[in-house]
Amino acid sequence: MRNFQGRRIKKSYIYYPVTKKIIINGSIFILTLFVLVIVYKCKNPTRESDYFNPNVLATHFNGERFVGSTTCMECHADIYTTHLETAHFKSSAIANAGNVKGSFEEGSNMLDLRDVAFEMKTNKDSLYQHTTLKNRSLKKPPSKFDIVIGSGVKGQSYLTWENDALYQMQVSYYTPSNEWVNSPSFPNYDYSRPIGDACLKCHMTFAANQNTSKQRNTFDKDRMVYGIDCERCHRPGEKHVVYHRNNPDAKEAKYMLRLQDLPRQQRLDACAQCHSGLRNELLKGSPFSYLTGEVLSEYSRNNDTLTSNQNLDVHGNQYGLLSSSECFKQSATLDCNTCHDPHKNQRGNSNYFNSKCIGCHDVNKSRCTAEAIVQNKMQNNCIACHMPTIASKAMQVQLIKDSLETSFYVRSHLIGVYAKEQWEN
């Protein structure tokens, strides 16, 4: 080594050992720090950064990310708690012994049809449908109950995975008679019933179709968001959560659509995406592309636009029926939320619904008063006469005993004057 004058110098003159010491000590220090950080991180799992980066359940096609209602709980506890009791939240879930309503007890765990019989059995924590084909020696492997569709107010259907492909099972559950039934539109034994977006779009918050099969029934299992959760109506909420967790004092909502302020049609669209018929004709994207706040008619429409609203089936088309009613046509503000609180289970709360009718109608002044109400004990139940339940022609199931199709009864949203025979009693 040479000094600046080019003279050769001894190594010791340039304090080499000191530099070396610094390097060695420094390395030990950095290494120790590194180990300490790792030990700390293992002992204290990344709590804080988890809190500011909530777990993402799925990413929508537009890049917005779903974080699930458990994330909303800390700041919207009241809404969160009542939401858990709604048919919406319970409308789909991973199947378990607690949410499958049909019985697995011997004696009531059978469905006996003409060509085939089913027996429902549990094995450890899993639930299975065992199939016996009559007059055939062929043995079918049991199908596992993987996903529940339907809260069970009226009934449930079940789905099973075969690898990444989703199929509907042959047995369903019918609440009015508390028994296993043949799944709707499954007249005969039919082993394979692929389930695609067209079924899931109304019963789940989000599902990512992989489009890898001809039958369009392959999904990314890790990106399914079960139940009709907050973010299906309010859009994916990651940004909102991150903002408010970082700004706990902020009183005004950020990165969250105000549904209250949308024009009437978009407010209706938020519900109509699932309550206005099948809307099988896609105009844009996939069935999960539309998000609240957008214009639904740009995304999808019903195939049979020729059917008049009066002939619409009561199942799944509350929007079509309501918008054909005089209450809707002759008022500027009436929408689904005039009568429904989307965060609560209000089934059977007739006082609440009556108060909504009376809010617009002075019964004492209308022709309703005299005859109709006096002769009937149901004066406090406007809907029994003006929104009666009607048998659905679209949704029917086959019960075990008689092989006739039995209808689901659904409350009509065509508000009007009905014949006495149609009144509920």
By CB under 6 A, residue 260 contacts ligand HEC: yes
By CB under 6 A, residue 228 contacts ligand HEC: yes
* CA angle in degrees (0–180, nearest 5) for 200-324-176: 50
By CB under 6 A, residue 231 contacts ligand HEC: yes
Of 366, 393, 403, 422, the residue at the interface with ligand HEC (CB under 6 A) is: 366
Distance CA 424, CA 390 (A): 10
Of 360, 393, 403, 422, the residue at the interface with ligand HEC (CB under 6 A) is: 360
By CB under 6 A, residue 149 contacts ligand HEC: yes
Pairing between β-strand 126-133 and β-strand 143-144 as defined by DSSP bridges: antiparallel
By CB under 6 A, residue 196 contacts ligand HEC: no
Nearer to ligand HEC, 188 or 331 (CB): 331
By CB under 6 A, residue 103 contacts ligand HEC: no
Distance CA 416, CA 380 (A): 16
CB atoms within 10 A of CB 214: 8
Of 113, 274, 291, 296, the residue at the interface with ligand HEC (CB under 6 A) is: 274
By CB under 6 A, residue 253 contacts ligand HEC: yes
Stretch that binds ligand HEC, among 41-49, 207-215, 227-235, 297-305 (CB under 6 A): 227-235
CA-closest candidate to residue 227, choices 90, 353, 357, 361: 90
- What is the contact mask toward ligand HEC in residues 11 to 40, using x (rule: CB under 6 A)? ------------------------------
Nearer to ligand HEC, 33 or 417 (CB): 417
Query: What amino acid is encoded at 142 in this protein?
Result: P
Stretch that binds ligand HEC, among 1-9, 85-93, 110-118, 211-219 (CB under 6 A): 85-93
By CB under 6 A, residue 88 contacts ligand HEC: yes
**Residues 155-174 contacting ligand HEC, CB under 6 A:** 155-157, 168
Which run of H or of E encompasses 395?
strand 389-398
**Residues 104-143 contacting ligand HEC, CB under 6 A:** none
Stretch that binds ligand HEC, among 2-10, 110-118, 123-131, 223-231 (CB under 6 A): 223-231
Q: Token pair for residue 367?
A: 């022709």
- What is the contact mask toward ligand HEC in residues 58 to 77, using x (rule: CB under 6 A)? ---------x-x-xx-xxx-
Cβ–Cβ < 8 Å for 107, 122: no
Count, residues near ligand HEC per rule CB under 6 A: 105
CB of 278 to ligand HEC, least distance (A): 5
Of 373, 391, 399, 400, the residue at the interface with ligand HEC (CB under 6 A) is: 373
Distance of CA 259 to the CA centre of its chain: 18
Query: What amino acid is encoded at 124 in this protein?
Result: K
By CB under 6 A, residue 56 contacts ligand HEC: no
CB of 65 to ligand HEC, least distance (A): 10
CA-closest candidate to residue 216, choices 199, 232, 230, 191: 199
DSSP strand E in 113-242: where?
A: 116-123, 126-133, 143-144, 147-149, 155-162, 165-174, 179-182
Cβ–Cβ < 8 Å for 181, 172: yes
CB of 272 to ligand HEC, least distance (A): 6
Nearer to ligand HEC, 109 or 412 (CB): 412
Of 127, 322, 388, 397, the residue at the interface with ligand HEC (CB under 6 A) is: 322
Burial of 305 (0-12, 13-18, 19+ CB in 10 A): exposed
Which run of H or of E encompasses 397?
strand 389-398
CA-closest candidate to residue 400, choices 95, 104, 116, 146: 116
DSSP letters of 54-120? PPP-EE-TTS-EE--HHHHTTT-HHHHHHHTTSTTGGGEEE--TTT--S--STTSSEEE-SSEEEEE
By CB under 6 A, residue 216 contacts ligand HEC: no
CB of 287 to ligand HEC, least distance (A): 8
CB atoms within 10 A of CB 266: 18
By CB under 6 A, residue 144 contacts ligand HEC: no
**Residues 384-413 contacting ligand HEC, CB under 6 A:** 384-387, 389, 410-411, 413
By CB under 6 A, residue 416 contacts ligand HEC: yes
By CB under 6 A, residue 209 contacts ligand HEC: no
Long-range contacts of 246-255 (CB under 8 A, 24+ apart): 246/52
By CB under 6 A, residue 225 contacts ligand HEC: no
Nearer to ligand HEC, 119 or 231 (CB): 231
Distance CA 181, CA 249 (A): 53
